[in-house]
Amino acid sequence: MDIVYIRDLKVDTIIGIYDWEREVRQTVSLDLEMAFDISEAARTDNIEHTLNYKAVAKRLIAFIEGSEFLLVETMAHQAAAIVRDEFGVSWLRLRLSKPGAVRGSRDVGVIIERGERPLTGAAAGA
Ligand SMILES: Nc1nc2c(c(=O)[nH]1)N=C([C@H](O)[C@@H](O)CO)CN2
């Protein structure tokens, strides 16, 4: 299985359950691992044959900047759905971090996986 990834995509947004969190934008950070067969892109050297990580990042920035979720769970779930539905990604792992949200920790958040992980090697009959 090949992976196209985005690491530490920072976006400012309204997120949180407390009153003060509804008033100020906070920074969240996303890490994404997206299953995508890159063999055709590697063969042709053509961006049209792969998952364009810049296009994914731009779409997620626009979505998250315009959102006002209470929970990181909701944001993560909906961001994953966008990537799967709009970019044809069959499986992904997404980490959504809220830096500095809990005193004493570097960050907190959720890690979710969505979709069917493609089979590789002997399991795929290769
Ligand atoms: N599982 C979660 N726990 C908490 C969340 C959350 O979104 N998911 N949010 C908060 C507060 O908004 C917190 O981030 C403020 O510091 C607390 N717990």
**How far, in Å, is the centroid of ligand 1 from the Cα of 12?**
16
| Nearest atom, ligand 1, residue 102 CA | 16
Give me ligand 1 centre to Cα 27, in Å: 14
Shortest-distance atom of ligand 1 to CA 74: 7
Tell me which residue range forms the domain holding 41: 3-121
Residue 111, domain member (yes or no) = yes
Name the residue with tokens 């890690």.
111
| For the chain, counts of helices (H) and of strands (E) | 3, 5
Q: Does the residue 44 lie in any domain? A: yes
Long-range contacts of 60-64 (CB under 8 A, 24+ apart): 60/9, 60/11, 60/30, 61/9, 61/11, 64/11, 64/13, 64/28, 64/30
Does 126 reside within a domain?
no
Total domain count, the chain: 1
The pair of structure tokens assigned to 88 is 């044809």
Share the mean pLDDT of the chain: 96
CATH number reported for the structural domain that contains residue 110 in this entry: 3.30.1130.10
**Tokens 């992904």 correspond to what residue?**
92
ipTM of the complex: 0.96
The whole-model pTM stands at 0.94
* pLDDT band at 68; cut points 50, 70, 90: very high
